[in-house]
Amino acid sequence: MSNTAISYDDFLKVDMRVGKILEAREFPKARKPAYKLKIDFGPLGVKNSSAQITARYDHPSSLVGRKVIAVVNFPPKQIADFISEVLVLGVPDSEGRIILLGLESEEEAPLGSRVA
């Protein structure tokens, strides 16, 4: 883990936004277990993401409707036959399973809101 300091301007380059998962499906072609997510970012549109979150979220349908935080300004990345457009953010639990970053109060942050 690095403790390299960055400037506030560097932080502002990372565009993190609020999105709502519209669809989650199994992704059997991924090298590591993952789901294909379709996420609505409001004015930014609907974006796709591949997320390695199957260890903690064992039913993709349980993800639908969840508000998440994602980096939306990375270049698209091809994973098997799928283009992942955004990086959904999470933190590992004590067993290394990813817990999605989301919102405590769903109604207060409109889709597409930028993390500040």
pTM of the model: 0.92
What CATH code is carried by the domain that includes residue 91?
2.40.50.140
Q: Is residue 6 part of a domain?
A: no
The pLDDT tens digits of the residues spanning 35-85 come to 999 999 999 999 999 999 999 999 999 999 999 999 999 999 999 999 999
Q: Is residue 2 part of a domain?
A: no
Q: How many domains does the chain have?
A: 1
Residue 7 contacts residue 48 (beta carbons within 8 Å): no
Which residue type sits at 67?
A: K
Residue 57 contacts by C-beta under 8 Å, 6 or more apart in sequence? 35, 63, 100
Q: Average pLDDT, stretch 102-107?
A: 74
Pairwise CA distance, residues 11 & 5, whole Å: 10
Number of H helices, E strands in the chain: 1, 9
Please write down the HEC assignment for all residues of 39-89: EECHHHCEEEEEECCCCCCCCHHHHCCCEEEEECCCCCEEECCEEECCEEC
Q: Is residue 20 part of a domain?
A: yes
Residue 14 contacts residue 57 (beta carbons within 8 Å): no
Q: Is residue 56 part of a domain?
A: yes
Is pLDDT above 80 for 28?
Answer: yes
Q: Is residue 66 part of a domain?
A: yes
Which residue type sits at 98?
A: I
Q: Is residue 114 part of a domain?
A: no
Q: Is residue 4 part of a domain?
A: no
Is pLDDT above 70 for 1?
Answer: no
At residue 104, the pLDDT reads 74
Domain that holds residue 52: 13-108
Q: What is the mean pLDDT of the chain?
A: 94
